[in-house]
Structure 1
Amino acid sequence: MGKIVLFGATGYTGELTAEALKRRGARAVLAARSEQKLAELVARLEVDWPTAVADIADSASLEALLEPGDVLISTVGPFVRWGSVAADAAVRTGAHYVDSTGEGAFIRDIFENYGPRAEAAGITMLTALGYDWAPGNVAGAIAADADPSVTSIKVGYFNGGKPGKGSMSGGTMASSAGAMFYPSYAFLDGQVVTERTATRKHDFGEVDPGVPARGFSVGSSEALSLPRVYPQLKNVDVYLGWNDPDKVQAQAAALEPLLADEASRARLMAESEARTPGSTGGPDAETRAQSYAVILAEGADENGAVVSRVRLTGVNGYDFTAAFIALVAEKLLAGEVTRRGAIGPVEAFGLEKAAAYAAEAGIARE
C-alpha cells in the first residue's frame, strides 16, 4: 500500500487539504520547505503524521519522498512557474499525481506534454481538481448527457453570497495575475484553439435573483477532457465570472501586444509579482462561509439552441478544493482509478461517481 504526500502543506490550500485529509481519517506525509512551519502545522492539526523538507529549488528532495503507487498532491503555485517540479517528480518515480491549479497554461501542459509520459509510466495525473475546474467537468457532462442533440457546451464559474474583500487567497491572486501572461485556449469547431484570455464573454443569466452571471473565456480542463468523453461535442467553452468581464477583456487585449517574446513576458511577470502578495494566507472559515460556489452549464444543439441547463451550487470554492482533492487522493491510493495518463474527473470515475464525489465534497446539482 502506498502513501499520500502533500507537497506545499504549509501553504493556504495545502493546510486546508491537510485538514480535509484528517477529517477523512486519512494520513499523509506533509512536505514543505520550512521544517519549523511543518512542526507548527502538525501541532495545529494535532496529528502524528510524518513531515519532510522538500523544496521546488531541489527536485531531488521531493523525489526522495516518492515511490511507485504513491499519490502526490501538489498545491505549490503559481503552477506555470513552479508546478513542473512536482509533475516531473511524479512521472520519474511512478507516483500518481493530483494538483490544485486553476492556471490554463499549466493544465494544457499536463494534458498535452505530461499525459503521454504519465501513460508510459503507468500513472494517473489529475490536474485542476479544485473549484476550478473539477465541478464544471461534472456540470458540463450532465449538460451533454441530458440530450443527444447537444454538440456545444458552455460552463461558467461564479460566486454567490457576499465574497467581499479578503475572499481570495494571496496564492490565487498571484496565479490569476500570472495566467494573464500566457496564451489561453478553448475547444472550438472540434479542436483545441489557442487564444488570449477573455477572447469572448457570455451571459448565463443570473447567479442569484438580480445578480447577473456574466463571464470571460478561460482555458480549463473541461476543454481538454470532456470532448474525449463525449466525441459528439464540437465546442467546449468555459467562462470565469469572478471579475468584471468587460474590464478583464480590455486588460487582456491591452496586454496582448506586450507579450511578443519571452523577455517581455518575463519582465511583465516580474513587475506583476512585485505587486501581488503571493502566498500570504487566505480567507478564514467565517469569511469563506459568507460566499458559495455556483457553476452554470448550457448544452446547445447544432443550431445554437440551448437544450439543457445545469446549475451546481455548494460550499465556498476553497473548502470544495480541499475536500475534493483529499477524496480523490484516497480513491487513487485505493486503486479505484485504472485509467492512466492525464485525465479529467469524469474520465477517471465516470459521470455518476464524479458527480457523487463532487457532492460529497460540497458541490451538487440543485
Structure 2
Amino acid sequence: MLKKLNYTNGLLNQMKHSIILLGATGFTGKLIAEKLDKDSVTFTICGRSLEKLQYLTEKCTHNHECLVLDVMKEEKIKSVLFQYEIVINCVGPFNLWGNFIRNFCVQHGKIYIDISGEQSFIEQSFMMDKLAKEKGATIIHSVSFESCMADIIASEMLDSALKYSDISSYYFFRNSKPSPGTKLTMQLSKHFPTFFIHNGKMENASPLAFHKYISFDFLPGFTKALFMPYPEILFFNKKYKVNHSASYLMLNHSDAMFLLASRKQPIESVDKILKKHQSRKHNLNENDIAKQEFTLVVQAIAEDGIKITKYVHGRNMYGITAFLVSYLVKQINSGLLLKKGIVTPSETGAWSGLWNVLIKEKLITHVQELQSDEK
C-alpha cells in the first residue's frame, strides 16, 4: 500500500531516513528501485506521479516509504533532502535539473550518487571539490553502465604515477534501444559543452566532431570510432597523466556515415526538444533491454609504447546500471569509508569482486586484459 506522508511547514512528519531515491518512476530509476528492494535496502521512493509510485510499490517485496515530489519545487526539495544522508538522483537531464540537487548535497555534507552521463554537469562539480571537502560531502557521479565501468577498468590496469600518451574508451552496441531519458540527453547534448583531452589539456568538442580508425580482433568488421562525450574522460583527466583521451562509439562504415550526416541537421531549441519528448510515446520495455549487448574497451598507450587493452562483453546495460547503484549503496551501508569531495566511481573502493558477481548475475559474459609492445 502506498503510504501518504504528511507535511508540517514543509518538513516530513516522521523520523529521518538514510536513503532517498529521486526519479524512481523513470525508466532507469524504476530498475534501480526494484534492485534496491530485491537487495533488501531500505529507502524512500520519490517521484512525480502518484499512479506510477503506486504501481512501483506493488512490485516491491519490502515496505518502503513513498513521496510524491516534483524536483522543480526547490523549497520543498530542500526540506525533504535535508533529512536524508544518501541521495540517489535519477532525474535527468542533469544539465537542466541536476544542479540544484547536487549543490544542495555539497552544501549540506550529503552522500550524493547519480547516473549522469553528461560531461558539462560533472565538469562543474569538479570545480566544487574544495567546497565539498570543507562541507564533508561525497559526490559520486556516473554510477552507471558507461563511465563507471570504464573508470573501474582503468583503475585496475593503469598506474597513476606513469605517463600515458593515450587513454581512450570504446563502446560497441548491438540491439541497442536507448531509454527515453537517454534519448532526451542525447538530443540536448549540442546545447552543452563536451570535452576531450588534447596535448594534456581539456578541450571542447561537439559530439561526432571527429573520428579515427581503429580495429580490435575481438570486434571484427568495426573500424570507425566516432567521438562520443562520456564522463570517464573527466575521471581519466583527474587521475592520470595523459596526453590524449577521448571516448568513442564503434560503428561499421554505413552506420558511421549516417551518424556523421546527422550532424548537419539544424539544432532545435531546448524548449522544442522538451515539448517533443513530453508528447512522444515511449515504448521501451524490459524485454528490449534484456536483448541489448555491448562491448566496452579501455585502451591505454604508455609513453614507452606499451599498449594495454581491457574489454568487457555483456548485456542489459540498464540492468547493469541498477546493479552498480545497489552494489555501491550496500557497500556504504556495510561501513565503507568514503573520501570527501568529488569522487570518481573507482575512488570509492567499492568494487572488489565486481566482475565475478556480474558474471554470476549473467550481466557480463567475458572480461579480458591484453598487452602488447608498440615499439
TM-score range, shorter chain: 0.7 to 0.9
Question: Which has the larger displacement, 88-97 or 278-287?
Answer: 278-287
Q: CA deviation at 1:73?
A: 0.7
Q: CA deviation at 1:49?
A: 0.2
Once the two structures are superposed, the pairs formed by residues 166-181 of structure 1 within 5 Å of their partners are 167-181=177-191
Q: CA deviation at 1:68?
A: 7.0
Question: 1:200: which partner in 2?
Answer: 210
Contact 2:114 2:141 in 1 (8 A): yes
Please point out which of 97, 102, 108 is paired with 1:82: 97
Counterpart Cα distance in 2 of 1:116 and 1:245: 41
Question: Do residues 238 (structure 1) and 238 (structure 2) align?
Answer: no
How many residues are aligned here? Answer: 346
The 1:147–1:299 alpha-carbon spacing in structure 2 relative to 1, beyond 3 Å, is farther
Question: 1:108: which partner in 2?
Answer: 123
Question: 1:264: which partner in 2?
Answer: none
Question: Which has the larger displacement, 38-47 or 201-210?
Answer: 201-210
RMSD of the alignment, in Å? 3.0
Question: 1:51: which partner in 2?
Answer: 66
The 1:98–1:149 alpha-carbon spacing in structure 2 relative to 1, beyond 3 Å, is closer
Question: Do residues 131 (structure 1) and 145 (structure 2) align?
Answer: yes
> Unpaired runs of 5+ in structure 2?
1-15, 369-375
The normalised TM-score by structure 2 is: 0.81
Higher Cα Rg: structure 1 or 2? 2
Question: 1:119: which partner in 2?
Answer: 133
What residue identity is the alignment partner of 2:227?
Answer: S
Question: Do residues 66 (structure 1) and 63 (structure 2) align?
Answer: no
Question: 2:323: which partner in 1?
Answer: 323
Counterpart Cα distance in 2 of 1:33 and 1:90: 20
Counterpart Cα distance in 2 of 1:47 and 1:234: 49
Higher relative contact order structure (alpha carbons within 8 Å, sequence separation ≥ 6): 1
Q: Deviations 1:136-165 (Å, cap 9, x if unpaired)?
A: 1123334434995743211112224x33xx
Counterpart Cα distance in 2 of 1:61 and 1:336: 30
DSSP 3-state at the match of 2:191? coil
DSSP 3-state at the match of 1:307? strand
Q: CA deviation at 1:314?
A: 2.1
The 1:18–1:278 alpha-carbon spacing in structure 2 relative to 1, beyond 3 Å, is farther
The 1:93–1:79 alpha-carbon spacing in structure 2 relative to 1, beyond 3 Å, is same
The normalised TM-score by structure 1 is: 0.83
Counterpart Cα distance in 2 of 1:355 and 1:68: 30
> Unpaired runs of 5+ in structure 1?
259-266
Question: 1:310: which partner in 2?
Answer: 310
Q: Deviations 1:35-67 (Å, cap 9, x if unpaired)?
A: 332222111224310011221221232232334
DSSP 3-state at the match of 2:309? strand
Question: Do residues 268 (structure 1) and 282 (structure 2) align?
Answer: no
Question: 1:283: which partner in 2?
Answer: 284
Contact 2:30 2:56 in 1 (8 A): yes
Q: CA deviation at 1:279?
A: 8.7
Q: CA deviation at 1:335?
A: 4.2
Please point out which of 94, 99, 107 is paired with 1:92: 107
Question: 2:301: which partner in 1?
Answer: 300
Q: CA deviation at 1:320?
A: 0.7
The 1:278–1:87 alpha-carbon spacing in structure 2 relative to 1, beyond 3 Å, is farther
Q: CA deviation at 1:78?
A: 1.3
Question: Do residues 151 (structure 1) and 165 (structure 2) align?
Answer: yes
Q: CA deviation at 1:310?
A: 1.2
